[in-house]
Amino acid sequence: MKSPLVWKTLKISPALLGLSLFVTSNAYAAVPNQTATNESTVKLNNPLSEMSVEIDSLQIASDVSPGLSPTNTTADPNRELLEQIQRYSGENNTESLDQVTSVGQLRDVSPGDWAYEALRSLVERYGCIAGYPDGTYRGNRALTRYEFAAGLNSCLQQIERLMVGDTPDGTELETLRRLIQEFEAELATLGARVDNLEGRVAFLEDNQFSTTTKLRGEVIFNLGSAFGDEKADNSGEDIEDNITLSHRTRLNFDTSFTGEDRLRVRLQAGNTPEFDEATGTEMARLGFEAASNNDVEVNDLYYRFPLGDNIRLLVGANGFDFNDIAEIHNPILESSGTGALNRFNRRNPFVFRNNAEQGVGANIQFSDFLSLDLAYLTGESNSPADKDGLFDGDFTAISQLNLALGEKLDLGFAFGYSYYPGEDVNLSGSTGSPRAKEPFGEIATSALRFGIQGSWRLTPTINLAGWGGYIDAEAEAGAREGDNADLWTWVANVSFLDLGKEGAALSIMGGMPPKLTNVDGGDEDEDTSFLIEAQYQYPITDNILITPGAYVILNPNHDDGNDNIWVGTIRTTFSF
């Protein structure tokens, strides 16, 4: 009769064979993140004998721990390598594996799965399979070579536990050698496949754009025109209503030096029409303007990096505003390339349009449900002239508290303070009436900013969003020093998702552009403008989106004496 050791070994062999077959069937899907190093050998030493199980041709990538580098030489490299694998399998992070004792603990594995019986055997009989902390197995996910090493190590440790207390004789050793030979063919096949993958990865790395920088691009072709009678600027001129064909082109270079930071450099060129000049009101501006006459310019430049686990800092040197820092809470319509067609409908102008170009900011994550956005922003910090610079020119200090009420409702509460020394006063973010832009003219002005914005996924295919804003402005110099004024704005929108096609969206939105009221010693906006937009986002492919739509401005510039103005457009967005 066989000794207990042989029987225990024979009992474990199906677990090892099953693991090897599982790894072989998934080897093609696992591509290492960086170039693999030279071949290594892993040995498992039985503490009760001189027997060793040797696995050849197992290559370990060097992208996790410096201890796995080929330059690391120690007195016992095989033992250190095994310790590295054991440490990897026990790492305490969100993707670490937890041993399960029943296949029923894996919520994404069902009896109807083709590998269910194999998994049940490996889990319940041999204890060689682990799941993720969220209770899933992720059987269709690509298997990394580290995960293979950790799983194989677990099975080998199981053999060691069964062998404790038994001393193998010659017959048992022969049985073990025969089992080792059965694995040689599987591991040789795995090694050949990994070698092939390494060659392909090496080719891609040799021909890639950059090891640290990703290039993303967006091109917009736009066919559009404004319609109506007279301009809204009391000039008596007719609206410039010729049909236009224009473009906006962006190239984003996103660079990471540590894997957790990002340096954004955006190049932009375009020739989209300035509908505010064509219609006499800034309410008519497009949400994707790029009126640079095709000159290439640096449109966005900032660097963000983590400070600990819950804080992220940002520094912006050009084209930097609060929307680069804070959550906008308008997920379907906030993007300039794929969101609202009108500038006003994209985001709350009292919070996210502060006439800024440079600044610093921070995101603080208190929990999964509570976060805080902070920023100090300036418009002319690059200029050393009087009433310019980082602290002597216009500035905005602003914050937003974000609440995530479950998975469907998000809210943001914003408060800020702005000061303009008399030049480039712009309280409306160039989305409202001329009076709302400069309540007291070109004199020093301060403003307390308040805003609330939110998004609610009412059903899986219906999303509601909107915002409201208020500014308390005060004149800080001249004959009107001490005068106060109030500014108001609001928007509401609804989007019907996957309408007609997966990824499509029909959106309807409307609101009141920034309006000036209750002005001390000056004129206010006596009437009320309303801006209504309807659009349909239709994806042709994953990279081409066509958005036909139109918007109308009722009582432009908050003056019911002005004729209504219409803007129609067909925007085609190419992303790559």
- Do residues 557 and 433 make contact, with C-beta atoms less than 8 angstroms apart? yes
- Amino acid letter, 363: N
Q: Which domain holds residue 109?
A: 4-207
The domain that holds 510 is classified in CATH as 2.40.160.10
- Do residues 500 and 527 make contact, with C-beta atoms less than 8 angstroms apart? no
- Interatomic CA distance for residues 208 and 202, integer angstroms: 10
DSSP 93: S
Task: Say yes or no: 114 and 227 in one domain.
Answer: no
Per-residue three-class SS string for 23-40: HHHHHHHCCCCCCECCCE
**pLDDT of 126:** 67
Query: How many C-beta neighbours within 10 Å does residue 508 have?
Result: 14
**pLDDT of 98:** 61
User: If DSSP codes are grouped into helix, strand and coil, which group holds residue 426?
Assistant: coil
Task: Say yes or no: 172 and 232 in one domain.
Answer: no
Domain count, the chain: 2
Q: Mark the ranges of the chain whose per-residue pLDDT is less than 50.
A: 1-7, 9-10, 14-17, 19-75, 88-95
Tokens encoding 497:
């998702």
Task: Say yes or no: 541 and 453 in one domain.
Answer: yes
Task: Say yes or no: 393 and 255 in one domain.
Answer: yes
- The per-type count for the chain, helices as H runs and strands as E runs, is 9, 20
59, 24, 20, 54: which is closest to 40 by C-alpha? Answer: 59
Task: Say yes or no: 55 and 194 in one domain.
Answer: yes
Task: Say yes or no: 231 and 190 in one domain.
Answer: no
Give the end of a domain, one of 207, 225, 243. Answer: 207
User: If DSSP codes are grouped into helix, strand and coil, which group holds residue 231?
Assistant: coil
Task: Say yes or no: 184 and 237 in one domain.
Answer: no
DSSP string over 311-371: EEEEEEEES--GGGTS--S-TTT--TTTS-SBSTTTS-HHHH--S-SEEEEEEEE-SSSEE
DSSP 20: H
User: Which whole-number Å values give the CA distances from 46 to 6, 57, 121, 157, 171, in the listed order?
Assistant: 15, 21, 25, 10, 17
Helices of type H across 362-425? 389-392
- Interatomic CA distance for residues 257 and 214, integer angstroms: 12
**pLDDT of 87:** 53
- Interatomic CA distance for residues 46 and 8, integer angstroms: 15
Angle separating helix axes 4-26 and 145-163, nearest 10 degrees: 170
274-292 burial, b at 16+ Cβ within 10 Å, e below that, comes to ebbebbbbbbbbbbbbbbe
Task: Say yes or no: 191 and 294 in one domain.
Answer: no
Task: Say yes or no: 105 and 145 in one domain.
Answer: yes
**pLDDT of 194:** 83
Task: Say yes or no: 276 and 358 in one domain.
Answer: yes
- Interatomic CA distance for residues 244 and 472, integer angstroms: 39
For residue 107, how far is the Cα from the chain centroid? 28
Give the end of a domain, one of 143, 177, 207. Answer: 207
The reply to whether the predicted model has a pTM over 0.95 is no
Contacts 24+ apart (CB under 8 A), 21-28: 21/186, 22/115, 22/118, 22/143, 23/143, 23/148, 23/151, 23/152, 23/186, 23/190, 24/186, 24/189, 24/190, 24/193, 26/142, 26/143, 27/143, 27/190, 27/193, 27/194, 27/197, 28/193, 28/197
Q: How far apart are the first and last CA of the chain?
A: 68
- Interatomic CA distance for residues 362 and 371, integer angstroms: 11
Give the end of a domain, one of 207, 233, 268. Answer: 207
Summarised one tens digit per residue, pLDDT across range 223-238 is 999 999 999 999 999 9
**13: Cβ–Cβ under 8 A, 6 or more apart, which residues?**
179, 182
Task: Say yes or no: 196 and 243 in one domain.
Answer: no
- Interatomic CA distance for residues 528 and 483, integer angstroms: 23
Task: Say yes or no: 341 and 398 in one domain.
Answer: yes
